[in-house]
A and B are shown apart, each in its own frame.
Chain A
Amino acid sequence: NAGVTQTPKFQVLKTGQSMTLQCAQDMNHEYMSWYRQDPGMGLRLIHYSVGAGITDQGEVPNGYNVSRSTTEDFPLRLLSAAPSQTSVYFCASRPTSGNVYEQYFGPGTRLTVT
């Protein structure tokens, strides 16, 4: 199992550009989520999904869009990047039955917006 994979690892954008951060998992987990991690702050939840076709907002959703067309993939879209979105982004997945607290994290994408 590859677990949770994220691409790209690093990205530099100019203000106003758009891009998609990719996230995939091969563990057949229903629940997937996106977090951002900023210096001196804990991870903050951006969006999450409890299954294909179902998404919801987390603590800091503004400026980000998500969709979930398959169980495996959960891309995060930045529509018009802003310097405030400079951060490290983590994708995570976990099952919704059995050991529901076993959350798996991807290695992160470090995004810089200039």
Chain B
Amino acid sequence: KQEVTQIPAALSVPEGENLVLNCSFTDSAIYNLQWFRQDPGKGLTSLLLIQSSQREQTSGRLNASLDKSSGRSTLYIAASQPGDSATYLCAVWGDMRFGAGTRLTVKP
């Protein structure tokens, strides 16, 4: 059974800092890995999808990488802003397993 872990569970950084969120998974036989953002009281919004044949995807200040052999993905956020404050979840496609998320707070 695929297990998806996100560490840390919470992170607080000052505005402007570059940061990395981590996602690890136990079974490397995945189709894709997806990063989502969840705002309080809201549903999930897709940020980036990395297909299994890819190693990274970029969208604006976000860059996600995938290393299937080591069972890891990272989400890099450049020049963080208070508006980036949210919970970030990763999900592994195959049978769509989610991590518990990292709650990010960016302080002005």
Contact = CB atoms under 8 A, between A and B. Distances in A.
Interface stretch (A40-48, A63-71, A74-82): A40-48
Interface residues of B, number: 21
B93 interface: yes
B41 A108 contact: yes
Interface string B85-108: 000010101011111110000000
A49 to B, nearest CB: 14
Contact of A43 (B41, B42, B46, B89): B89
| Interface of chain A, main secondary structure | loop
Contact of A42 (B45, B93, B99): B99
Interface size range on A against B:
10 to 19
A105 B97 contact: no
B29 interface: no
A105 B44 contact: yes
Interface of B: 4, 9, 32, 34, 41-46, 49, 89, 91, 93, 95-101
Interface pairs A-B: 4 shortest CB-CB: A42-B98, A105-B43, A43-B98, A105-B44
